[in-house]
Amino acid sequence: MVTAARLPAVAGAAVQAYRLVNSRFPPIALFDDVADADEFDMLYRLQALTNPRLQNEVGALQLIPLDQIPFGIVGCSYATAPFTHVNADGSRFSDGSYGVLYLADTVETAIAEVHHHQNRYWAKVAGLNYDRFVFRSLVCAFNDAACRDATGLSLQDPVYAPDDYSAANALGAHVRQLGATGLLYHSVRSPGNHCWALMTPRPVASIIQAGHYEMIWNGGITSVNRISNP
């Protein structure tokens, strides 16, 4: 089984990448209202006295050290949310005990990844005949220095198994243990393209909202349409 220590380090460059998030999840204002960890801690304590929903909004802060949050950037909440609102069911490079910021090389790659996972999720909902799901696209600027490069592995490697994430989960754990920023890897849902799995939001310089997309469910995702510009 491949480990992070056996993968080469990415040379490191300024990167523009893409992500789709469900529009029903608004940005977390508190992350975007402050410039540093001290300001955040003070404001969090003050708001906690009067806002009983604050913990649900901000998420599980204990899952990420405050010094890893890129306070002061545009879109700080978008960068941080995957690490404080963790999918307990896990993902390709997480067993569900920690968050990962997944990014794609093009918006089309991001759409392909989300399309696949939305199909899997809604297929389990009995009686769902028709629905419409709206997503906002995000443009992320970051530096991928200190990432490990898994693009040298064949798509036949167990790390890239379409539905069995056990090998990928183990690799994700190794990346975290090694202290690497994240992982550059092949997109499984859009062959020929690639994605990043960031284990910390710290390298993010900005995340800006772009257009909105809709996915139409009619026994499966039957169409994806762009419905607005930024």
Q: With CA atoms as reference, report the closest residue to 81 among 161, 10, 138.
A: 138
Burial of 144 (C-beta count, 10 Å sphere; 0-12/13-18/19+): buried
The pLDDT score that the predictor gives to residue 2 is 83
pLDDT above 80 (res 230): no
Nearest to 183 by CA among 1, 9, 2: 9
Going by their DSSP bridges, the two strands 147-149 and 131-143 should be labelled as: unpaired
Q: Which DSSP string corresponds to 34-98? A: -SSHHHHHHHHHHHHTT-TTHHHHH--GGGS-GGGS-TTSBTHHHHHHHHHS--TT-BTTB-SSS
Domain ranges for the chain: 14-25+73-228
HSE, side-chain direction, 13 A CA sphere, residue 97: 6
Q: Give the pLDDT confidence of 8-55 residue by residue, as tens digits.
A: 999 999 999 999 999 988 888 889 999 999 999 999 888 888 887 888
- pTM for this structure? 0.95
Q: What is the pLDDT of residue 165?
A: 97
Reported as a single tens digit per residue, the pLDDT across 69-119 is: 999 999 999 999 999 999 999 999 999 999 999 999 999 999 999 999 999
Segment 144-161, tens digit of pLDDT: 999 999 999 999 999 999
Query: Which range is least confidently modeled, 21-25, 206-210, 219-223?
Result: 21-25
Q: Long-range contacts of range 124-133, CB-CB < 8 Å, 24 or more positions apart?
A: 128/217, 129/218, 129/219, 130/216, 130/217, 130/218, 131/216, 131/217, 132/214, 132/215, 132/216, 132/217, 133/22, 133/214, 133/215, 133/217
Q: Give the model's pLDDT for residue 158.
A: 97
